[in-house]
Structure 1
Amino acid sequence: MAATSPSHSHLHAGYLTATPNPLSNPSSNSGSDPPTPPASPRHTIGVGGAAAGHRYQRQMADKENGTAAPRLTRASAKRAAAVTAVAVAAKRKRVALSELPTLSNAVFKQKPRTKKASHVAEPNKATSTRRAPSPDLVDEEGDPQLCAPYASDINSYLRSMEMETKRRPAAHYIETVQVDVTANMRAILVDWLIEVAEEYTLVSDTLYLTVSYIDRFLSAKALNRQKLQLLGVSAMLIASKYEEISPPNVEDFCYITDNTYMKKEVVNMESDILNVLKFELGNPTTKTFLRMFIKSTQEDNKYPSLSLESMGSYLAELSLLEYGCVRLLPSVVAASAVFVARLTLDPDTNPWSKKLQAVTGYRASELKDCITLIHDLQLNRKGTSLMAIRDKYKQDRFKGVSTLLPPVEIPASYFEDLKE
């Protein structure tokens, strides 16, 4: 883990501190001492006495032990949310993470986590030669929530949606549209947003939609680097409203930037994003396909369900950091993540199968470029110092999958076409 730097925000048992945003003030000295936190209730933990401190410790312990709420139906969740909305807002534990460095070797301080195209994908082998996926997307005794009788139609609809121009970012928007924003700045922003999503316990679908909105916005409109963090929190605000039962409010997102941006600025940026996206918010993401592929290919019970899901999610989130994955279709990234996940859990067995080929509609040879990209990300061959995802998936609730490594080289035989 990278050494702690005074240029990053700190979470202590008694207060929160944060340094000025260098994107907002490029001349700021990142080596100066952090300012004394203001005497605000939001910058203190335990100002109400020992009871508040104990609540904070219990929250941290619950996260460490992987405590998770039982899955609720939509109706019961809404009833529960209506009763506890005020209490949930009061209990939220927030942290100021305002800094977005611009240097290529800059990185957020990583605190220990014990708490819980043109506008279409570039032509490639995976998209141009893809066969129709198998209608057998769930087994006969599968989860009824997968809507087995409609699975084939749902899959076909999602596949057509992911190809639509209006739902896709441009393949090379950093080079063709942006002047003041770089791929490294984008990666730093996404890494920080992953921490924000963890802090507010947002569902993973919210994170994927957030990154999708950011890429689509930046594909259409040039942005000054001082507004990049504002774009990030505003996109997450929209995604939260779309996915969450009880989303954070505007003030929460202002606070998470250490009040670098005011409520009016976030609301105005939210409006800009919606207009640029033409209110097309419901596009399928890598998570959409990943969930479907993993659920429908565990027929052999060879891979522990939770380990495979955690490993697949870990690899898919790593792809969010990589600007090179923007040009790839979400289904391609999801299928490649499943390949590398199975390779990591069982290196001696070909990770691709006829069932996977039928369900995804891709041959392993068609996914080779994306598989190699994700494999390199997992081995950190670029030497990135952004560690939010790796720290997140070290936790016991994710089976510590980020500590597992695949073979250094993928056997060429694994990319050979399977015999029918």
Structure 2
Amino acid sequence: MLLVSGMQKKRRPVVDYIEKVQRTVTPYMRADLVDWLVDLAVRYDLLSDTLHLCVSYIDKYLSVKPVIQSNLMLLGVSSMFIASKYEEIDPPSLKDFCDITDNICDQTEVVKMEAKILKSLNFEMGNPTAITFLRVFLGSVSEKQKTPNLKIEFLASYFAELSLLDYDCIRFLPSIVAASAIFLARFIIEPEVHPWTSSLCECSGYKPVELKECVLILHNLYLSRKAESFQAVKKKYKQHKFKFVANLPSPPHVPSYYFEDHSHIDEGKLNPKPDEISKPSAQSTMIP
């Protein structure tokens, strides 16, 4: 775990590459690309690991190489091609990936871009992502339960994928995104119970106050206050196999009390101040 924690810092992208490196790419263009890649991943039934790894490759490449808008699809599909070969047992073929672009990207172009991406990665393809840490942290929680809470797992995975859409989330380490996703998932499932336990604090190494900024961004994404025009992730997690978690109601705000330092937090022992919880309303959910 220590090795992976150190690796996430070493292999992270430049957190402000759009301002420092890119000339024409904007956060909106990046989000549009990621939204399309989510649809691609759903179509080929790719693992969440593959999607997260793909986006990490894109951000790493954009950290060092300026890219024009017309080449973003090529960068995206080439990154997914690499990630799928790394993660999937039976990855889609090169032809499959080109076909899904309506042959806007041909096979020769993808192979050439693949080489450029691998060079930018120094051929280090095993980047730890939010999904990597999500499994570790959720494993810590499930050890104390007789059966896993699939709703929390799917909801946390949903938040982790929503984070991929938002350029602002690049500044957070994958472990912080994972911890924040679990924090928010537990809050939405049980708003009146403190979402962060002593075991989660110990396993993740993060106190609630260290997660506050990321949690609030994820909450805004969930309530469609940010990136509302990008619906692929939401559509994915509205499916039965993910227990329709994208439809779950949420209070409009996470109480500030939950981010205070409570070193004595234990499972379900610390409840919020009564006046700090707002009940979910139709206006506060993602349901149209």
Matched, 1:377 2:232: no
Q: Choose which of 139, 157, 161 in structure 1 pairs with 2:7.
A: 161
Give the conservation status (yes or no) of the 8 Å contact 1:353–1:418.
no
Q: CA 1:266 to 1:360, structure 2 compared with 1: closer, same or farther past 3 Å?
A: same
Counterpart position of 1:71: none
Number of residue pairs the alignment of both structures matches:
264
* C-alpha distance in 1 between matches for 2:143 and 2:259: 22
For structure 2, the 5+ residue unaligned runs are: 265-288
Aligned-pair CA distance for 1:227 = 0.5
Which whole-Å deviations, capped at 9, do the CAs of 1:66-113 have from their partners, x for residues lacking one? xxxxxxxxxxxxxxxxxxxxxxxxxxxxxxxxxxxxxxxxxxxxxxxx
Q: Choose which of 185, 191, 199 in structure 2 pairs with 1:355.
A: 199
Counterpart position of 1:339: 183
Matched, 1:252 2:101: no
Counterpart position of 1:201: 45
2:109 match: secondary structure: helix
Aligned-pair CA distance for 1:380 = 1.1
Aligned-pair CA distance for 1:157 = 1.1
TM-score (norm 2): 0.89
2:262 match: secondary structure: coil
Which whole-Å deviations, capped at 9, do the CAs of 1:168-195 have from their partners, x for residues lacking one? 1001111111111111010010011011
Give the conservation status (yes or no) of the 8 Å contact 1:254–1:263.
yes
- Runs of 4 or more above 4 Å deviation: none
Give the conservation status (yes or no) of the 8 Å contact 1:312–1:338.
yes
User: Superposed, which structure 2 residues align to 1:104-143 within 5 Å?
Assistant: none
Aligned-pair CA distance for 1:298 = 2.8
* Rg comparison, structure with higher value: 1
Counterpart position of 1:94: none
Matched, 1:218 2:68: no
Counterpart amino acid of residue 372 in structure 1: L
Q: Choose which of 398, 408, 413 in structure 1 pairs with 2:242.
A: 398
User: Superposed, which structure 2 residues align to 1:281-296 within 5 Å?
Assistant: 281-296=125-140
Percentage of matched positions with identical amino acids: 52
User: Superposed, which structure 2 residues align to 1:238-317 within 5 Å?
Assistant: 238-299=82-143, 301=145, 305-317=149-161
* C-alpha distance in 2 between matches for 1:238 and 1:171: 22
Aligned-residue RMSD, C-alpha? 1.4
Q: CA 1:268 to 1:348, structure 2 compared with 1: closer, same or farther past 3 Å?
A: same
* C-alpha distance in 2 between matches for 1:181 and 1:214: 12
* C-alpha distance in 2 between matches for 1:355 and 1:340: 16
Range with bigger deviation, 406-415 or 336-345: 406-415
Q: CA 1:304 to 1:282, structure 2 compared with 1: closer, same or farther past 3 Å?
A: closer
Counterpart amino acid of residue 409 in structure 1: H
Which whole-Å deviations, capped at 9, do the CAs of 1:362-419 have from their partners, x for residues lacking one? 0001111111111111111136211111111011110000001321111122112123
* C-alpha distance in 2 between matches for 1:210 and 1:386: 18
* C-alpha distance in 1 between matches for 2:174 and 2:208: 16
Counterpart position of 1:113: none
Q: CA 1:302 to 1:175, structure 2 compared with 1: closer, same or farther past 3 Å?
A: farther
Q: Choose which of 305, 325, 332 in structure 1 pairs with 2:169.
A: 325
Aligned-pair CA distance for 1:304 = 5.8
* C-alpha distance in 1 between matches for 2:13 and 2:9: 11
Give the conservation status (yes or no) of the 8 Å contact 1:181–1:225.
yes
* C-alpha distance in 2 between matches for 1:229 and 1:376: 27
1:352 match: secondary structure: coil
User: Superposed, which structure 2 residues align to 1:7-26 within 5 Å?
Assistant: none
TM-score (norm 1): 0.61
Q: CA 1:372 to 1:302, structure 2 compared with 1: closer, same or farther past 3 Å?
A: farther
Aligned-pair CA distance for 1:291 = 1.1
Give the conservation status (yes or no) of the 8 Å contact 1:379–1:405.
no
Counterpart position of 1:41: none
Give the conservation status (yes or no) of the 8 Å contact 2:21–2:62.
yes
Counterpart amino acid of residue 193 in structure 1: L
2:40 match: secondary structure: helix
Counterpart position of 1:181: 25
Aligned-pair CA distance for 1:277 = 1.3
1:297 match: secondary structure: helix
For structure 1, the 5+ residue unaligned runs are: 1-154
Give the conservation status (yes or no) of the 8 Å contact 1:303–1:345.
no
Give the conservation status (yes or no) of the 8 Å contact 1:240–1:248.
yes
1:220 match: secondary structure: coil
